[in-house]
Structure 1
Amino acid sequence: MRLYLSDRSSVDAAQELMTTFGDDAGFEAAARADKSRDLGNHVNFCRWRQIERLIVLMSQARAVGTVH
């Protein structure tokens, strides 16, 4: 999984969604991405998709990828 974070605000948004929505946080991020896409806002669409991926990554119980 590739993940690009432009700044800390994406991590903060992911954490807030996880705190508020629990196991449904990824679905909420996807819904926000879909809403942004429907409004024609491609920047926020991409941001919320990355936050959705980050939530999946943060939800893992073990390290993902290469561990040094």
Structure 2
Amino acid sequence: MRSAAAAWLAGRGERATFQYARTEGAPIGSVGALRVHLDEAVAPEWDGGFEPVLGTMVPVDRDTA
């Protein structure tokens, strides 16, 4: 996912940096349940048992921001 996000951003002239958080007791590299939204044409799904990760061009309504 990291390399795909970096390539997607590079194609748009952006540089990606990444930081990794570790939840106590979780194995290194474990990210839990994430859904990545990079396409602005697809609305984010907020209720589904996962944490949404939004690209810079994905719109967010005022109540969510």
Calculate the TM-score normalised by the size of structure 2.
0.25
The answer to which structure has the higher helix fraction is: 1
> For the pair shown, which has the larger CA radius of gyration, 1 or 2?
2
The answer to which structure has the higher strand fraction is: 2
Calculate the TM-score normalised by the size of structure 1.
0.24
Higher relative contact order (CA 8 A, sep 6+): 1
